[in-house]
Amino acid sequence: MSVLSYIQEYREQGFNLVPLKFRDKVPTVKWDEFQQREITEEEIKKYWNGEERHNIGIVCGKISGNLTVIDFDTVEAFEKFFGKDNNGIYAVKTGRGVHVYYRTKRPVKTLKVLNKNGQEEITLKGEGSYVVAPPSVHPSGVQYEIMNKVLPIPQREEEDFREFFRELAEKMGYRVQGRRETIKIEEVLKGVKEGNRDNSLLYLLTFFRRAKVEKKKALELVKKWNQRNQPPLPDSDVEYKTDYVYNMDKPYKYKFSIDPELAVISDDLEIREIEISPDDITVSGRRRTEEEGREPISGEVIPIPGEIDYVVLGKDATQYVYVKENGDKVKETPKTVITGLFRINKRYDIDGATFFDVSTERRLKVVSMDSLLKLLKSEGKVVKSSMLSDVVSAIASNVKEVEQGHSAIGIYEEEDGKLEVCLSPIPITDEQQIVQLELKDVVGYKPCKEDIENYIEYMSYFHLYEVSPVLGLAVMSPFSQIIKSLHIIFPILYLWGKHKNIGKSITVRTFTQGLYGLSMASADRLQSEFRFNEIMDSACLPRGFDEGEKLNFDKMVVIREACENPLISSRGKPDLTQVRYHSRLTPIFTGNDVKAKRPETLKRMFIIHFNEYRTESEGYEANSKKIRDLLKNLKPVGFELMRFSCQVIKTKENLYNLIRAITNKLTEVYKFEDVTKSESWSVVYLGLVLWHKFCKKHGIDWKLPTPAEFAEKVIRRVEGSTWGEVEEAAIAFRDWFEGWLVKNTVYNKDETGLAIKRIKGEDKIIKYEFVENSKGEKIFGYWITNTVLQEYTRDARAMDLPPISNLKRLAESVSQTFDIPIDMIAGKKGGKEKWIGSKTRVATFIPVEDREMEAQYVEVSDTM
């Protein structure tokens, strides 16, 4: 790979870069500013253009998506933490050691870890740090290399990864440089401002747990405390973090100003420390916990494979029984491991992972082994922690009833290679359970001919490019996991327009909520990475999200990765391994603006600009009423369509072959800016083919566009909107303006018999001049005022030209399209203040080649 290829990959991962001296770790610039702003394309070209060699630095912390790097000075230290089998991490070989990359929930501060000799051996690098990245060269001459590449960068779930790593290092015999900061719990209780709320909540919950406050009471207290914050956190965040702290094996070892074990906490959130007198101190003898001499309890006996020991499942306890044989004598020594009722009723094999149906004093339907062990500990049922895992594993392996399935609705490849529809999943997350409840009454719906015709009628009120991509992706969404496993991008679909009531939201609602019954949500729900993972894992179905302008797609690496990876990183476990979520959902967004400019983002998106002038078109009101009536009658035909599609496709191999065949046809009739998009468009077209066959099965003649028609009427329009929305505005205006000039040009003879060119409005609403582009070249054209832009707006409605809301937007388009610095043609008022005629007017520049205006005078015979 070239240096620029590495840089492109780092940028796609959301990393900010800083140039370093070649064969050195020292920045060539003052790098502090790169913690606050992103490196520009111009700077990348300047430092890594091949003329002068530079090393690459990756900035850690918030600017790079909360990137945290564990810097091991030696390979031995790295293997002490990760062992030799470490393929599940993103690791870089450095000059002498190893870098391990993670994303954390929040930025972390640097932490230095010392070995037994007091030498610095490990550094946890976060906010305020950077690391040298491949293919840089170490001062020793060794080149940095990627050892393991796991993308997206694994995400840690710890609420405080710095404290977690500190305690892990101390447990492994290391010493951490510097003392823990004392947390003044009295100050935390007064309430905090935004920016300190998450950490303060974690501190407070940790304090309560160490103070032996029960979970239910702790939740009640922190909710009361939350009302003191400015502003309060959402209740869902408070509840999630309470679960997190109380489900940890051990709470964090924060240093508090008051000892939690000696604290008294009132309902009014007042804390005081208990005073201890000498009389309160007693010396207790050794507590007798042994159960020698007792008989094992009665209950179900479970043998342990390869051992003569066994486990007994009693009514009120679970025991491990040691068996010692001495000739004819057998001595059995029972040890109670779990108190109270405990049963594993059933084992589930779900999406390749194992879960259990468990009964304690309550019934738990689907829990993982890790969650089960944590649950037993959190409920205070465990007497001997060291034996818990062995006992539960023995019980689990003895379970006779095993059920296989999937955790979410969708189409999956089974062991025999055939595709099967799953409409009765075994949910394991809250979001999956919510979806199953929401859809339980519609998955069995059998559509009639009229139901399907309603969708076809709806599409007739819109342009083909506005509705067919939504329909195609909606049809293919149940196949999302299989398609991503084929390394094909399942694109992000975004419908936008600045005006209201132009149909973008109801179109998304029609082919998500209408087709499958899954209600729309706000894009806000995807801001939290934890919620994002849960929502994306909820179902292999399309779901609409409005207010998409709240998301910056360029910065959301996780959503870009979810387009092409069947699995997305989520939770970190105490042993530094990863738990993963599936990327099943097909999110379809609507909004009044789009925050996506980078090529690595746009190649994963279909951006559809809806007709801005629909509300002013003839028959709009009548059509709107018909559409509203249609929406009332839409039925969830999607699940019958899903069954039909699965029967048609049959196998994963057949699905791939169909996509490849369509790709070949589309590339014959359209030249794609990015070849990966040809496969994504083929997925959409295959969805339309399946819809066509589904209609035909029900006796409906729906016309499928040919590949050439689809390329011309849909792909060309959407790709132009995706890649060239900004350029499109400038080009469209310039073409319109050239026609405007022709209509408004007149010639008057002067006293010498020559014709003088005059334009109506010259030196009033327009002015001819030149500006310089970024290369210093002269660009001739006109300064135009808002009066001209208003004329364009009136014509644009009739001519179906792209809307331009103001001079500033036009200036931005001109700047990007014609490489003119924005500050030369735009100012604080949108345009630039120019002296036109007898006064200062706000105007912007439009490049138009006009030789006559340059020459000013021409021969009469040449012009009349």
Reported confidence tier of residue 16, pLDDT bands at 50, 70, 90: very high
At residue 739, the pLDDT reads 87
Cα(406)–Cα(435) distance, integer angstroms: 14
In what side-by-side order are the strands of the sheet with 586-591? 521-522, 542-546, 586-591, 492-496, 605-609
What tens digit of pLDDT does each residue of 737-788 get? 888 888 888 877 767 767 677 788 777 788 888 888 877 888 888 899 989 9
Angle of helix 464-476 relative to helix 716-743, nearest 10 degrees, comes to: 170
Predicted local confidence at residue 573, as pLDDT? 45
pLDDT the model gives residue 729: 77
Hey, where are the domains in the chain?
3-176, 182-275, 300-405, 449-704, 725-863
Give the rounded percent of residues in the chain with a pLDDT score beyond 90: 43
Work out the pLDDT band at 453, boundaries 50, 70, 90: very high
The rounded distance, in Å, linking the Cα atoms of 149 and 85 is 14
Q: Phi first, then psi: what are they for 365, rounded to 5°?
A: -75, -55
Residue 290's pLDDT is what?
A: 45
Task: Report whether pLDDT(118) > 80.
Answer: no
* Phi and psi, residue 643, nearest 5°: -60, -45
Span 812-851, pLDDT tens digits:
788 877 878 888 888 777 778 888 877 888 899 999 865 5
The torsion angle over the Cα atoms of residues 782, 785, 788 and 790, rounded to 10 degrees, is 150
Return the half-sphere exposure (C-beta side, CA atoms, 13 A cut-off) of residue 47.
19
Which of 555 and 652 is assigned the larger pLDDT?
652
For the ranges 172-176, 241-245, 405-409, which has the lowest average pLDDT? 172-176
| Cα distance between residue 388 and residue 402, in whole Å | 22
- Write out the E strands in 703-777: 745-749, 755-759, 766-772
For 32-63, what is each residue's pLDDT tens digit? 899 999 999 989 989 998 667 899 999 999 99
Class of domain 449-704: alpha beta
Model pTM?
Answer: 0.58
Using the structure block, give the residue that is written with the tokens 């030196």.
763
User: What DSSP assignment string belongs to 366-393?
Assistant: EEEHHHHHHHHHHTT-BS-HHHHHHHHH
Q: What is the pLDDT of residue 229?
A: 92
CATH 3.30.1280.10 fits 3-176, yes or no: no
The pLDDT value given to residue 422: 95
Token pair for 652: 């994963």
Residue type present at position 345: N
What is the C-alpha end-to-end distance of the chain, expressed in Å? 62
Which of 247-261, 347-361, 364-378, 513-527 is predicted most confidently? Answer: 513-527
Q: What is the pLDDT of residue 862?
A: 40
Please give the mean pLDDT across all residues of the chain.
Answer: 86
Select the highest-mean-pLDDT range: 3-12, 384-393, 639-648.
Answer: 639-648
Give pLDDT, residue 732. 84
Average pLDDT for 279-283 = 38
pLDDT reading at 301 higher than 70? yes
Above 70 in pLDDT, residue 861?
A: no
Query: In the chain, what percentage of residues exceed pLDDT 70?
Result: 91
Choice among 319-323, 368-372, 459-463 with the minimum mean pLDDT: 368-372
